[in-house]
Amino acid sequence: AVAHCFPGKNKSGDAKPPIECAKKWLWQELSYLNPELFLIVGKYAADFIFPNKNFTELVFTNQTLLSKPAFVLPHPSPANKKWLKDHPEFERKRLKEIRAAIHKIIRL
């Protein structure tokens, strides 16, 4: 989770977490890890890590984070059915590319 805190509910589901939590903890946590790649799940996380970038463009292009490969994915929420319907090439093509990158790292 980007924000590391649960902000409660709003009318449509979970309220948006305050960005202060992410600013305080996320980069410090990442400094302790040495991942071989990053999977950034959802627009909220993508907006925090790659500010001022178009979400759809982030999904369909390879990114880097801390000099490692990074892939942006739509959040697997039922609320994202429209995005997936509007972008069938994500499941048809992009997901295969991301899986191949993961398989290469875990040597499958």
CB 50 within 8 A of CB 72: yes
Measured CA distances, 70 to 10, 35, 67, 78, 107 (Å):
31, 10, 9, 24, 18
pLDDT number for residue 95:
97
When divided into structural domains, the chain yields a total of: 2
Residue 8 sits in which domain range? 1-33
CB 18 within 8 A of CB 6: no
Q: Are residues 29 and 47 in the same domain?
A: no
pLDDT digits (tens, 9 = 90+) for 8-27: 888 877 777 777 877 888 88
Q: Are residues 42 and 28 in the same domain?
A: no
Q: Are residues 44 and 89 in the same domain?
A: yes
Higher pLDDT, 39 or 28: 39
Q: Are residues 25 and 65 in the same domain?
A: no
pLDDT number for residue 1:
62
Q: Are residues 28 and 43 in the same domain?
A: no
Residue 29 scores a pLDDT above 90? no
